[in-house]
Amino acid sequence: MKNASSGGIPRHIAVIMDGNGRWAAGRALPRSAGHGMGVRTVKQVVEICARRGIEVLTLFAFSSENWQRPREEVSMLMNRFLEALDDEIEGLHRNGFRVRFIGNLPQLSTPLRERMEAAMTLTANNTGMTLVIAVAYGGRWDVAAAARELARRCVAGQMQIDAIDEGALDAELSLARHVPEGLADPDLLIRTGGEQRISNFLLWNLAYTELYFCDTLWPDFGERELEAAIGHFSRRQRRFGLTPGQAGAR
């Protein structure tokens, strides 16, 4: 069910951060420079969303398809991700953020998984904005994993086949297990970089989400661009005459 927003502000924003490589190429810089600037943008967007009262921010950091990139680039991305996690987790904790990771995490290196688990444990009891980072994530993988878990329960005699419905499947998806109750489905999806597709991201959870595509490359995405996306969401809410209590029924 689609989440109810409050006062035209989305409670849950999801972002496909696209354009780091093209940003670097346009400046004759290595791709690593684009990813470095992308990390800076992540920090800014997290801070802005927290100030705006966004309750959940989900970032698509590394897709299951990204494993097909050149080995050197994948290694660079993983190392940069590890460095960013080490640099930022204490500050996120001090500011009350709750950090969660979703995806096929067993595919990741042991040091990275250990840092992720430590970050989630450290921030588990925080009550500020929930920051969800999707790593080695794919929407089809997510649905298949949830289906396998329900099938396992049926085989073990823990549930009946007839009990498998939308609610049962929804409860086993990654977001439902990692965000506050009632906030699993994003109200607004933002994709930067000019592409207009969801690229296997949160396939189930985006069923009723407002989609916003912009040409701005991720390293150049700032407060003005974020406010434009939120404004788009707010105008759509007014266009359909939805009040916060009605948004979930659409």
Mean pLDDT along residues 15-36: 93
- pLDDT digits over 42-69, tens only? 999 999 999 999 999 999 987 766 666 7
Choose between 235 and 146: higher pLDDT: 146
Confidence of residue 28 (pLDDT cuts 50, 70, 90): very high
pLDDT at site 76: 74
In this structure, are residues 179 and 56 in contact, taking their beta carbons and an 8 Å threshold?
Answer: yes
pLDDT at 245 over 60: no
pLDDT at 187: 97
pLDDT tens by residue, 88-99 = 999 999 999 999
pTM for this predicted structure: 0.90
Within 102-138, residue ranges assigned H as helices are: 110-123
Given a cut of 80, is residue 181 above it in pLDDT? yes
For residue range 203-217, list pLDDT tens digits in order.
999 999 999 999 999
pLDDT of residue 64: 62
Q: Which of 57-71, 75-89, 139-153, 230-244 bottoms out in mean pLDDT, i.e. has the lowest?
A: 230-244
| Active-site choice (3, 18, 185, 187) | 18
Let me know if 142 is a catalytic residue: no
Question: Does 18 participate in catalysis according to the annotation?
Answer: yes
Among candidate residues 97, 137, 145, 136, the one with its CA nearest the CA of residue 119: 97
Burial 55-83 (b: 16+ CB within 10 A, else e): bbbbbbbbbbebeebeeeeeebbbeebbe
From the candidates 66, 95, 126, 200, give the one annotated as an active-site residue: 66
Q: Give mean pLDDT, residues 125-153.
A: 96
